[in-house]
Amino acid sequence: MALEEAGVPTVAVHTHVFARLARATALANGMPRTRQAFVPQPIVDRSPAELRAYIEGIDPVSRRPFMQEVIEGLTQPLSAEDLKGVSFERSTPRLLAADTHDALQQLFVDNNWTDFLPIILPTEERVAAMLAGTSHAPDEVVGRLSPTSFREEWEFTVEKVAVNAVMAGARPEYLPVILAIAASGITARSSSTTSMTSIAVVNGPIRNQIGMNCGIGAMGPHNHANATIGRAYSLLSQNLQGGSVAGETYMGTLGNGLAYSPCFAENEERSPWQPLHVGKGFKAEDSAVSVFFGARYTQEGYGPRETWQEKMRRCLSAGAHFPPLLILDPIVARGFADHGITTSQQLIDWCAANALLPAREYWDDQWVQTLLRPLAVAGVEPYATRLAARDDEIVAMFEAREIHAGVVGGETQGAWKMIGARHMRTVSIDAWR
């Protein structure tokens, strides 16, 4: 659209499953009549001959020849409607029209404002009570969110976060954690086709002050604070960013169960290692939340047993391009000391040194191709070195700074999980008390 503004007639080509999203994006950018042409999905893995057939075939959206759409898009004279663009104010009201409980529940479902589980309706009284959980003014702007980098950002206030916290069933004392998560600016409802979500890991005294679970079942629905803070993160992400509607503002092909409630606390008391947030520059007595983005794959193991290195190497190389977030039960973390690993950094360094793939396999990945290859071509390290490697040459998948490890769990089993999730930000919770 910037090219059109600069006077260059342009046609944007998409695959047909993105037609609704492409049109909605054009409208939100004030250029609803942007010329677009569509080819069938997928493009990935199609041979040159198949791609040529797309080009010489029919646009599956307009049902007209694809190249005719393209050429006419560049040459057909504009109408008066094309020339004016569309400006408009959009506002969301503070309050909705009064209605019955059942009708409002249905309205929230119909408008895609829920996660399709029952919600607590955000009455004025409930929201006021929630706002008592922070010293910040209701109209203070907390931040902005969008489903993806190329979509518009929506702004939100403390009160809007509180509304979603009420809907999730959270208590006022949880609000500083929820505000800190919201202030991260990282959505838990990314529209990525790869079904990414985000995970929030809480550290510091607030874990115990609000009764978070970092022991048995910490990563599951077994604790009020964990469950409702995570659900609030999910709901606020979709509602404060302008939606997370399948086929329109959400394009994750498989979806992601972690998106329901992605929050837990680290078991600092039973961990032999420094807490996650201390590694991010906070003091142990600070409360902070670390947000990890991705969460597409999870692998698991037990031990560490005699063959832990072989097991972990397999898991590391099996993952996609997102670096691992290791979540270990305290039994596992302490057990690593018997293998000479006494700090989380030592384990991270071992993982970085052992997350290896032949270059051919490393580069034969859709997202490595899309996101990292352009950087490699531009000479950005370490990607350039990986791209220069021979097909059979072994390359490192991650740098140590990209890998994280935390201790969670109730010591009923020496279990660990490896989740593909990139650390995005660690935010002070104390700042939102």
Partner 1 sequence: MSSTMTVHDPRGYPPKVVGKRLASRLEALDGKILYLVDCLFDNSEPFMEQMQSWFAAHLPAVTTRIIKPRESWVDDPAMRATITADGDAAILGVGL
Q: Which of residues 81-120 bind partner 1 (CB under 8 A)?
A: 82-96, 98-102, 104, 108, 113
Report the nearest approach of partner 1 to the CB of residue 3 (Å).
Answer: 5
54 binds partner 1 (CB under 8 A): yes
Residue closer to partner 1 by CB (options 63, 87) is 87
Whole-number Å distance between alpha carbons of 234 and 252: 15
Site string for partner 1, 145-164 (x = CB under 8 A): x--xxx-xxxxxx-xx--xx
Burial class (CB in 10 A: 0-12, 13-18, 19+), 77: exposed
Residue closer to partner 1 by CB (options 204, 319) is 319
Candidate ranges 16-24, 267-275, 320-328, 410-418; the one touching partner 1 (CB under 8 A): 16-24
Residue closer to partner 1 by CB (options 167, 355) is 167
Candidate ranges 266-274, 306-314, 342-350, 371-379; the one touching partner 1 (CB under 8 A): 371-379
35 binds partner 1 (CB under 8 A): yes
Q: Which residues contact 31 (CB under 8 A, 6 or more apart)?
A: 1, 4, 85, 86
Binding residues for partner 1 restricted to 227-246, rule: CB under 8 A: 235, 239-242
DSSP string over 292-358: EEEEEEEEEEETT-TTHHHHHHHHHHHS-SSPEEEEE-HHHHHHGGGGT--SHHHHHHHHHHH-EEE
Whole-number Å distance between alpha carbons of 407 and 214: 9
56 binds partner 1 (CB under 8 A): yes
Report the nearest approach of partner 1 to the CB of residue 312 (Å).
Answer: 28
Binding residues for partner 1 restricted to 290-329, rule: CB under 8 A: none
User: How many residues in the shown chain lie near partner 1 by CB under 8 A?
Assistant: 105
26 sits in which H/E element: helix 19-28
10 binds partner 1 (CB under 8 A): yes
* β-strand partners of 313: none
Report the nearest approach of partner 1 to the CB of residue 345 (Å).
Answer: 30
Alpha-carbon distances, residue 301 vs 170, 267, 307, 309, 328 (angstroms):
33, 19, 11, 11, 9
Residue closer to partner 1 by CB (options 26, 332) is 26
Report the nearest approach of partner 1 to the CB of residue 304 (Å).
Answer: 36
Question: Nearest CA to 44 among 362, 383, 365?
Answer: 365
